[in-house]
Amino acid sequence: MTHLEKHRSHRIGWLRAAVLGANDGIVSTASLIIGFAAANAGLENILLAGVAGLVAGAMSMAAGEYVSVSSQSDTEHADIALEKRSLDEDYDSELAELADIYEARGLDAELAKQVAEGLMAHDALGAHVRDDIGIPDNNSAQPIQAAFFSAVTFSVGAALPLLIAYLGPPQQLILPVAAASLVFLALLGALAARAGGASMMKGALRVTFWGGGCNVINRSCGAVIWCDCLISNRSRRVNGRIRRKITGRYRHCSTLARHMPMMGFSNVSVKSESSRFMGLMRL
């Protein structure tokens, strides 16, 4: 009887970077498009903002992943160097430490010591890296791989809502972009779960829920900004009309002021009336 087990833990490194990049690309670009559309921006401005977000996001994701995973790799190499130095300086203590680890996992003291001796005779450093430090053989940090997958998948994810915005109706972008982004997120979650051997339904629902929440928040922010700009523009127009009316009345008053002394009115009343209109002009 053949015993086959298909493990997928070796995919964790690139799968995590790929899912993070694609999810971020879809969510950030779709939210950007929805926010601009809610603020009543033109199609050209929306597409320009989306393309700029794609390029900047891809570069940012690549740089961020490389720096982040490089830091993890530096930490792992520092721990390995420390373990190697400890083995060179105090082999017996390291043997006892490894035996204690196996005993804590359920082996009796004698068997734990025999296992530790056998493993350390074969590969002392490898045994301590796996069981003492906790770094699996197939899951060490790979910065370049993470940066590449993150940048590529971000670009692909960001291009999807941009394509919908380009092909969709210019005056009604919010609904098609939002709906398409949710579909893309559901597919991404299902594929990621399938690649990792997890529940596809659970993965799809998790990614779709958080992506939909981001779209709603950005739609609200764009609407608030658009309303604020609209109110500001209307206020400026109303203030302009009021100022023009006051200016006209003041000019009329000034014309009368030149003729009032001839008509028997005092200069004091004319000056007070002019001062009142000047005060309104400064409001």
> pLDDT tens digits for 165-210?
988 887 788 888 888 888 888 888 888 777 777 778 887 787 778 7
Sort residue 106 into left (φ over 0), alpha (ψ -120 to 50) or beta: left
Q: Determine the pLDDT at residue 1.
A: 47
Where are the domains positioned within the chain? 11-90+130-228, 235-281
Q: How many CB atoms lie within 10 A of CB 42?
A: 11
b/e string for 184-216 if b means 16 or more Cβ within 10 A? bbbbbbbbbbeebeeebeebbebbbeebbebbe
Cα R_g (the chain), whole angstroms: 35
d(CA 18, CA 5): 24
Predicted confidence band of residue 265 (pLDDT cuts 50, 70, 90):
very low
Unique residue bearing structure tokens 């940090």: 141
Name which residue leads in pLDDT, 229 or 69: 69
Residue with token string 């559901």? 186
Contact criterion met (CB below 8 Å) for 164 and 176: yes
103-109: long-range contacts (C-beta < 8 A, 24 or more apart)?
none
Summarised one tens digit per residue, pLDDT across range 46-87 is 899 999 999 999 999 899 889 988 888 888 888 889 888 988
**Separation CA 162–CA 44 (nearest Å):** 12
pLDDT tens profile 134-153: 877 666 668 888 888 889 99
Instruction: Say yes or no to pLDDT of 249 above 60.
Output: no
